[in-house]
Structure 1
């Protein structure tokens, strides 16, 4: 293992540096975590964040299996993935944009209790949002084609993937803690349903951007 670290640390540092820029860029993952942080509170936002991180393992899996080469060589297959991702983002965006005003709730706690989702659903939303993200697909295709050598053992590539999953989870957990703070949620207040609608519109626009060049 120490030999692997010594031989491939340049690859790792390159991947880690590129990943920092990629994960910090606003996208579907950020929109969903932001929405859940405000709407459902810290716990469910953290679960969603873990789902986003685990979703990266989908991209790691097809990259290690060589399916990434097939996707790269077949534009129609990539387009199909983009359409599926767009449909999913549109679905959760449309659900958010239909959020209704709470009847008699004016406290910040109402944002987390007016609508309840299960831990499993929170995790799966994060997982699918990242797992179906074509931008993440492009990222991994680029990383494994340009940065990672063809001679790099699959065990090392798997280590890269596990790191990316962990780093992504930690980043979005950090955002969840900040965005679900009492001050942020108090600022939103009883008008949280308007925030929900805005984030729904953002998700729908992201969906449209995936199918319209």
Structure 2
């Protein structure tokens, strides 16, 4: 039964990982603009943010529940951050403006990835829902922690693989002439995501 549960948890987590979101857009754009090393720093930031949500979900922190004012503040902050990134990218004037989603240093890339994932309310909801189900099925705490470590590792490995693929010099060279259009497209998508987050945060 434990293996069946693990396969269910791992499968649900991986399917959620495949769903494109702001973290995916951030990694792709960073890889095209600065290569896999810069995108790798973003990946580490995204993975660390996931680790924070996992720890909060295992601890049963009420902040992650969708019906709390704190969660609505996270939604608004996340929407504002996505809108900020979108406007920055739409306003970039050349492909040399590679700092729109984070600075040139690795630390800035790390911070950009961390903020992107921390301010994504879907991450909070996913982990809160998944671990509340595990807690309801009396899954031992040690097993939940093992699942959390697994999820952190998968997020980091998947994002690093994505960054290495897109940030390959041959792909970057091929896409360099189109980076301006990529920035415009990414900026537009981020603004659409921001609007969706704002709409979801309005009480119905």
Whole-angstrom distance in 2 between the partners of 1:167 and 1:62: 18
The equivalent of 1:129 in structure 2 is: 116
Q: Say whether the 8 Å CA contact 1:40–1:111 is kept in structure 2.
A: no
| 1:64-96 residue CA offsets vs partner (Å, 9 max, x unmatched) | 22214x542634332221111111111222222
1:177 aligns with 2:171: no
Q: Is the 8 A contact 2:44 2:110 kept in 1?
A: yes
1:188 and 2:175 matched: yes
Matched residue SS, 1:212: helix
2:107 aligned partner: 120
Aligned-residue offset at 1:111: 8.0
TM-score by length of 2: 0.86
Aligned to 1:67: 61
- SS of structure 1 residue aligned to 2:31: helix
1:26 aligned counterpart, secondary structure: coil
Residue 8 of structure 1: CA displacement? 3.2
Task: Say what the alpha-carbon RMSD is for the aligned residues.
Answer: 2.4
Q: 1:123 to 1:116 in 2, by over 3 A?
A: closer
Contact 1:38 1:111 in 2 (8 A): no
Report 1:1-213 matches (<5 A): 8-68=2-62, 71-72=64-65, 74-101=67-94, 117-149=104-136, 151-213=138-200
> How far has the Cα of 1:38 moved from its partner?
0.6
Deviations 1:70-127 (A, max 9, x none): 542634332221111111111222222221125xxxxxxx6869x9521011011111
Gaps of 5+ in 2: none
Structure 1: tracts of 5 or more residues without a match: 1-6, 103-109
Q: Is the 8 A contact 2:34 2:98 kept in 1?
A: yes
From the CA coordinates, give the structure whose radius of gyration is larger.
1
Does structure 1 conserve the Cα–Cα contact (< 8 Å) formed by 2:103 and 2:109?
A: no
Q: Could you tell which deviates more after superposition, 143-152 or 155-164?
A: 143-152
